Amino acid sequence: MKALKIILLCGPTASGKSFATERLLSVSYDVATAKLDSLYRSALEHAGVPREDGKPYSIFTEAHALREGTTYARETTDRFFSKLEELIREQVSQAASWGVGLVLEGYTLRFADEVEKVVNAARATCGPRFVMSRVHMRPTLDGWNHNRSQLGRLKGRPVNIAEEPYYERTMGSPEPVPGLDDYTVRDLDELTSLADDVLKLRRHKWYQRFELGPLTTTGPSDASEKLATLSEADLTGKRVLDLCCATGVHAIMMKNQGAAKVIGVEVEPTRYCKSLELRKTLLRHSAVDAQVSFRYGDIAALLPDLRRFDTVTFFGALHYFSDYDEILALVARAAMDAVYLEVTFTEAEHDTAQAPGEIRPYKRSRTGTTIYMGDPETVKRTIERSMSEFELEERTPISAPGAKLVSQREIWRLRRREGARPAASEAPA
């Protein structure tokens, strides 16, 4: 197991730390991100700390009050810090289980005792196998005033221009922590260089090319091409299940294009983590409807417990399953009306001839990963056998994902036969 990398990103309000976390680190790198402000609010509510006139908590004010020890009773303070430590442990444990780095962002990470809480959580989860660094966001005076003006405009109140003495006090260095590597950056460019060259964060490789809100990727496979094969009648106002949803791109696009409800299921932990980060970024920084529910786990285990859906999409993943009949039967049971299935064929480098009547995927010799599924007729017979209540309605060719793969890919639209629609009472709870 690789060492867990933990990045603590701190700085005062308008320093750009939240923007850096949500628009750069969460999308560009294989990391899970968490805002300490959110954990603080949960811990404050748990401890019963009252809000002033029902207003949101001021994390700055409460963080200092809790540390001074004179504002609240000892019992309240203990309850708060106990809950906060529990929430931090959950974030560390989750990132470790997914095999990604962890980015914690918040003003309070300037305090040595807060850093120590993260260290203790990491040690309890990973033993000595973690590496922690702290990054202080310290924009220039002009940059900080610009950020403050933008924030004030969003909140509908003017902001006084800060001068050098106030800037220097506010941008004071975090409390030192023995053994912790501290870095200071001014902007996103410097943070990117630090993440790549010094912190060595693993860049996320987007396999799907898409444009969503402020985000644009250059992956080899066009996400919109697959979505274009879906009939509007199977999407608008429908409950959709996206199986093996990977990073959640298709699921979010379907919700944004009018689906009533979308659930995505993914078993690969890094991709599942990235789906949560993508949803979080789009909800915070765009008008894209990214209200999608993502589930982590094997679809063979999860499908029997999910309700039926109007439409099921199953893109680019059938060849990962050893028993096609079993998995297709589960897919058929989950779909009330339509199934969209991506299938892949090739005219060469295939061993179907040595095993007639079977689906025998071609495997890359270097990596052992599966690429091809089999010849069309064999796949069609398997579908007819496993999904007898469905009929093949349309086959739509789509482009190959990159020059290295010369296979033919198609989206097959399957429709439940007339009179074979299951009764609502058959739907699992």
CATH number at residue 311: 3.40.50.150
What is the number of structural domains in the chain? 2
Domain boundary among 139, 165, 198: 198
Distance, in Å, from the CA atom of 132 to the CA atom of 116, rounded to the nearest integer, reads: 11
Three-state secondary-structure class, residue 357: coil
**Distance of alpha carbon 385 from alpha carbon 4, whole angstroms:** 46
Residue 222: both structure tokens together: 């066009």
Residue 109 lies in a domain: yes
Q: Is the residue at 87 inside a domain?
A: yes
- The CATH number of the domain holding residue 189 is 3.40.50.300
* Judgement on whether residues 26 and 84 belong to the same structural domain of the protein: yes
Whether residues 149 and 212 fall in one domain: no
Where is the domain boundary, 172, 198, 224? 198
Asked whether residue 188 falls in the same domain as residue 244, the answer is: no
| Residue 70: per-residue pLDDT | 87
Whole-angstrom distance, CA of residue 223 vs CA of residue 349: 27
Q: Which residues pair with 208 in a beta bridge?
A: 221
Is 121 inside a domain boundary? yes
Q: Based on the domain organization, do 216 and 133 belong to the same domain?
A: no
Please check whether residues 238 and 115 belong to one and the same domain: no
The Cα–Cα gap between 348 and 346 comes to 6
Same domain (yes/no): 275, 395: yes
Assigned domain for 203 exists? no
Q: Where are the beta strands (DSSP E) in 45-188?
A: 101-105, 130-137, 181-185
pTM of the model: 0.90
Same structural domain, 273 and 396 = yes
On whether both 214 and 189 belong to a single domain, the answer is no
3-state helix, strand, coil in the chain (%, to 5): 45, 20, 35
What are the residues whose beta carbons fall under 8 Å from the beta carbon of 243, sequence distance 6 or more? 265, 299, 303, 312, 313, 314, 317, 331
Supply the pLDDT for residue 366: 52
Spatial CA neighbour of 93 closest among 114, 122, 116: 122
Query: Would 83 be classed as within a structural domain?
Result: yes
Residues 227 and 348 in one domain: yes
Instruction: Give the CA dihedral 336, 340, 341, 342, nearest 10 degrees.
Output: -170
DSSP H helical ranges for 174-323: 188-193, 223-227, 249-256, 269-285, 299-302
Query: Quick one: 79 and 226 in the same domain?
Result: no
- Say whether both 323 and 396 belong to one domain: yes
**One-letter amino acid identity for 302?**
L
Q: Which domain holds residue 354?
A: 208-426
Same domain, 179 and 213: no
Per-residue pLDDT of the chain (429 residues; tens, 9 = 90+): 689 999 999 999 999 999 999 989 999 999 999 999 999 999 999 999 998 877 889 999 999 999 988 899 999 999 999 999 999 999 999 999 999 999 999 999 999 999 999 999 999 999 999 999 999 999 999 999 999 998 888 778 888 899 999 999 999 999 999 999 999 999 999 999 999 999 999 999 998 899 999 999 988 889 999 999 999 999 999 999 999 999 999 999 999 999 999 999 999 999 999 999 999 999 999 999 999 999 999 998 998 888 899 999 999 888 777 788 889 999 999 999 999 999 877 655 544 455 555 555 555 545 545 445 667 887 888 889 999 999 999 999 998 776 555 567 899 999 999 876 665 545 443
Q: Is residue 253 part of a domain?
A: yes
Taken as a whole, the chain contains a residue count of: 429
Task: State residue 429's pLDDT score.
Answer: 33
CA atoms of 264 and 293, how far apart (whole Å): 6
CB 89 within 8 A of CB 104: no
By three-state DSSP, how is residue 97 classified?
helix
Among 162, 179, 198, the domain-final residue is: 198
Residue 334 lies inside a defined structural domain of this protein: yes
Q: Give the 3-state secondary structure of residue 346.
A: coil
Residue 45 lies in a domain: yes
Q: What are phi and psi of 408, to 5 degrees?
A: -95, 130
